[in-house]
Amino acid sequence: MNGEGAWMKVVIADDEPLARERLRTLLADQPGVELVAEVGDGHAALHACAEHDADLVLLDIAMPGIDGLEAARHLAAFEPRPAVVFCTAYDAHALSAFEAAAVDYLVKPVRPERLHAALERARTFTIGRDHEGAGDRDGLHRSRTHLCARLRGSLRLIPIEEVHYLQAEEKYVVVHHARGEDLIEESLKSLEQEFGERFMRIHRNCLIARHELVEVRRDHDGHVHAVLRHVAAPLEVSRRCVAQVREAIRQL
């Protein structure tokens, strides 16, 4: 959305048809709003946002599969980042920890005046988002259960437990996982911060899954390599990381 005169593209994500119908009816009475998609789970919400470049997602929290909170963590990495308004049956106290990630929250049954206020907050967010740079997930404290690869307008969700290692290449990170390889537009540093308990650094450009580490080998030239359970070629370990990799082996 570019400027105050533009229409705001909205996605509704709720697994309850009656809840979606109520939001659809309420949105019809709001000016400057275009409903571009209605979906029933978090995975579909991510696809809809990527396909339509949504400005706002009205996001239920309790949904099957990827719930609203995890969907919001993925949306925070989208560029441009859509505004998120949680729609929930929980009270304000249950949501206080997530206010940093959402521009507003609505308690069901949603009232027209509260929806109007949330839309105004979303407009303010979308007008200012280009001046603030890419999204920040600092307000979302739990680690994600999937990584989200966006390729040619489509999305692929990669379960974290299937990731073997992560390798930086220019502005991308290559995710090597059980079903192949995918590129994600995230930094290795941010991934290390988010998933530090699951992954360990073996090189300035590589993180490996701790559970994949089998052994450490030194070749005839003195170079150290990590052998991973499901990776054919050993991966180079930088000199500064050798000690912590050997310690990880001792703890296996």
Domain ranges of the chain: 8-131, 158-250
**Mean pLDDT within 59-71:** 90
Query: Would you place residue 32 in the very low, low, confident or very high pLDDT band (cuts 50, 70, 90)?
Result: very high
Per-residue pLDDT, 135: 44
Q: Within 13 A of 205's CA, how many CA atoms are on the CB side?
A: 10
Average pLDDT, the chain: 88
Q: What is the mean pLDDT of residues 64-93?
A: 86
User: Has domain 8-131 been given CATH number 3.40.50.2020?
Assistant: no
Average pLDDT (43-48) is 95
**What pLDDT, on the 0 to 100 scale, is given for residue 95?**
58
Indicate the CATH number for domain 158-250: 2.40.50.1020
Q: How far is CA 38 from the centre of its chain?
A: 20
pLDDT at 4 over 50: no
To the nearest whole percent, how much of the chain has pLDDT over 70?
Answer: 87
Q: In the prediction, which pLDDT does 156 show?
A: 85
Residue that wins the pLDDT comparison between 2 and 12: 12
In this predicted structure, the answer to whether residue 218 has a pLDDT above a threshold of 70 is yes
> Closest by alpha carbon to 119, among 106, 129, 134, 135?
106
Is residue 235 within 8 Å of residue 225, measured between CB atoms?
Answer: yes
Residue burial 105-135, b: 16+ Cβ < 10 Å; e: rest: bbbeebeeeebeebbeebbebbeebeeeeeb
What is the per-residue pLDDT for 139? 45
Give the type of residue at 64.
P
Q: Which of 89-98, 167-176, 219-228 has the lowest mean pLDDT?
A: 89-98
Instruction: From 170, 183, 195, 161, select the one nearest 73 (Cα to Cα).
Output: 195
Tell me the pLDDT band of 69, cut-offs 50, 70 and 90.
confident
Instruction: Give the list of residues 6+ apart from residue 215 with CB closer than 8 angstroms, or none.
Output: 226, 227, 249
pTM above 0.75, yes or no: no
For residues 219-223, average pLDDT: 92
pLDDT tens-digit readout, 105-152: 888 999 999 999 999 999 999 888 755 544 444 445 567 888 988 777
